[in-house]
Amino acid sequence: MSLDVAILAGGCFWCLEPVFSQLAGVQKVISGYTGGFTSDPTYKQVCTGTTGHAEAIEIHYDSSIIGFEQLLEVFFTAHDPTTLNRQGNDTGTQYRSAIFYLNPEQKLAAEQMILRVEAEQWWPNPVVTEVTSASIFYPAEDYHQYYYSKNPYQPYCMAVAKPKVTKVREKFSDLIRQD
């Protein structure tokens, strides 16, 4: 089976990964770094905000079950795309909102979704999500992979990730994995 790939950034990857891992058709979500200029960045380097990289997730999905547009709907619901270089208390360019497109179709879909989100006023302020051609995606260190499922009672996960997971489960109940 050939899977499609989407690369999204919307704050801490500990929060985005569990949002997308619960969706039917999503086979794998990898937390990592992309969009910067430092080769093989580490978490410690990315946290300085000097690498140009964003914390991001690489989503491997079966497009016969869930489409790129549906992933974008979830993305624009799960995080606040109107705060520049910030999600909640997490600040810096590494927490920016971004869609790293892999082909012209993804670019067009991302641009159209932003227009829709603004036209339908999903958020009270303008969307600042960047739409950028994908570059090298560097997987994060092993301990970051599926962090939320391994540490559901960690205070940050309880306060920040869990509400996002719950919001998406409620709004997109038809997209949630049933296994």
Find the catalytic residue in 12, 15, 47, 157: 12
The total domain count for the chain is 1
pLDDT at position 95, please? 98
pLDDT at position 86, please? 95
Rounded-to-integer distance, Cα 55 and Cα 57, Å? 7
Q: Where are the alpha helices (DSSP H) in the chain?
A: 13-21, 43-47, 68-78, 104-119, 147-150, 155-156, 162-171
| Range(s) of the domain holding residue 75 | 4-175
Q: What is the mean pLDDT of residues 130-144?
A: 98
Give the CATH number of the domain where residue 129 resides.
Answer: 3.30.1060.10
pLDDT at position 179, please? 80
pLDDT tens for 6-16 read 999 999 999 99
Q: What is the mean pLDDT of residues 32-46?
A: 98
Task: Decide if 12 is catalytic.
Answer: yes
pLDDT tens for 91-110 read 999 999 999 999 999 999 99
pLDDT tens for 42-71 read 999 999 999 999 999 999 999 999 999 999
Helix axis angle for 162-171 and 13-21, nearest 10°, is: 30
pLDDT at position 1, please? 72
